[in-house]
Amino acid sequence: VMPSSILLLLLLISIIHFSHQFQCIHHESENDRVKIIQCDSYCFADIIHAPKERKFIRRGCVKNQSIIEKVQHYVKFNTWPQVIDCPQGLSRYRLMDETFGNYFEQLCCSHDLCTSSPNE
């Protein structure tokens, strides 16, 4: 096999690997519907934590958020949405407002691990 063929093969493999989009669970608590959305970036979720229940408001891709959505997030949580590099598709919770019990969930998304519930 010629060296140029090996380089071409490696290039093809890398293109296939990096073109794979991440999957993220999108949970709509009102109708209790769950759907999988495709992310090309890490996922985020805004959640409200009540004493006896945990509701997911929305999930999406940080990279795909519009400027308006980023501003709305800033107004709500007093912080910009962040992309946290995670080795696995696990969710992380960060307390933002103890008075109202608002949490921001940074969901780090990998295509094989993000299809399970972060509460498990």
Does residue 9 belong to any structural domain of this protein?
A: no
Q: pLDDT digit string (tens) for 69-120? A: 778 777 776 777 655 444 444 444 444 445 555 544 444 444 344 434 444 3
Given a contact cutoff of 8 angstroms between Cβ atoms, the answer to whether 26 and 59 are in contact is yes
Total number of domains in the chain: 1
Q: Is 119 a member of any domain? A: no
Strand intervals (E) in the chain: 22-28, 33-39, 43-50, 53-61, 91-97, 102-107
* Phi/psi of residue 77, nearest 5 degrees: -115, 0
| Contact indicator for 44, 106 with CB cutoff of 8 Å | yes
Kindly tell me if the per-residue pLDDT of 54 is higher than 70: no
Q: Which domain holds residue 76?
A: 22-107
pTM as predicted: 0.29
Decide if 75 is inside a domain.
yes
pLDDT for 10: 62
Please give the span between the terminal C-alpha atoms of the chain, in angstroms, as a whole number: 48
Position 26 in a domain: yes
